[in-house]
Amino acid sequence: ILNVEQSPQSLHVQEGDSTNFTCSFPSSNFYALHWYRWETAKSPEALFVMTLNGDEKKKGRISATLNTKEGYSYLYIKGSQPEDSATYLCAFPGGGADGLTFGKGTHLIIQP
Amino acid sequence: DADVTQTPRNRITKTGKRIMLECSQTKGHDRMYWYRQDPGLGLQLIYYSFDVKDINKGEISDGYSVSRQAQAKFSLSLESAIPNQTALYFCATSDWEGSGGDTGELFFGEGSRLTVL
The model's pLDDT over B65-113, given as tens digits with 9 standing for 90+, comes to: 999 999 999 999 999 999 999 999 999 999 865 554 556 889 999 999 9
User: Residues B57-62: what's their mean pLDDT?
Assistant: 92
Q: Encode pLDDT of B25-52 as tens digits.
A: 999 999 999 999 998 888 999 999 988 8
CA distance A106 to chain B (A): 10
Which segments of B1-117 are extended strands (E)?
A: 4-7, 10-13, 19-25, 31-38, 42-51, 54-57, 65-70, 73-78, 87-94, 107-108, 112-116
DSSP string, B67-86: EEEETTEEEEEESS--GGG-
Q: Encode pLDDT of A33-49 as tens digits.
A: 999 999 988 999 999 99
Torsion sign (Cα): A18, A23, A24, A28: negative
Pairwise CB contact (< 8 Å): B48 & A99: yes
Nearest to A88 by CA among A23, A31, A2: A23
User: Which residue of chain B comes nearest to A41, CA vs CA?
Assistant: B110
Tell me if chain A has a CB within 8 Å of the CB of B111. Answer: yes
The 10 Å Cβ neighbour count of residue A110 is 20
Task: Note the pLDDT of residue B103.
Answer: 60
Tell me if chain A has a CB within 8 Å of the CB of B33. Answer: yes
CA distance A16 to chain B (A): 28
Percentage of residues of chain A with pLDDT beyond 90: 75
Tell me if chain B has a CB within 8 Å of the CB of A67. Answer: no
Torsion sign (Cα): B43, B48, B50, B51: negative
Task: Note the pLDDT of residue B74.
Answer: 98
Nearest to B87 by CA among B108, B111, B110: B111
- Check pLDDT > 50 for residue A95: no
Tell me if chain B has a CB within 8 Å of the CB of A66. Answer: no
Pairwise CB contact (< 8 Å): A103 & B42: yes
User: Which residue of chain B comes nearest to A104, CA vs CA?
Assistant: B42
Residue type, B19: I
Pairwise CB contact (< 8 Å): B108 & A45: yes
Residue type, A18: S
Task: Note the pLDDT of residue A96.
Answer: 45
Class of residue B43 by CB neighbours under 10 A (exposed 0-12, middle 13-18, buried 19+): buried
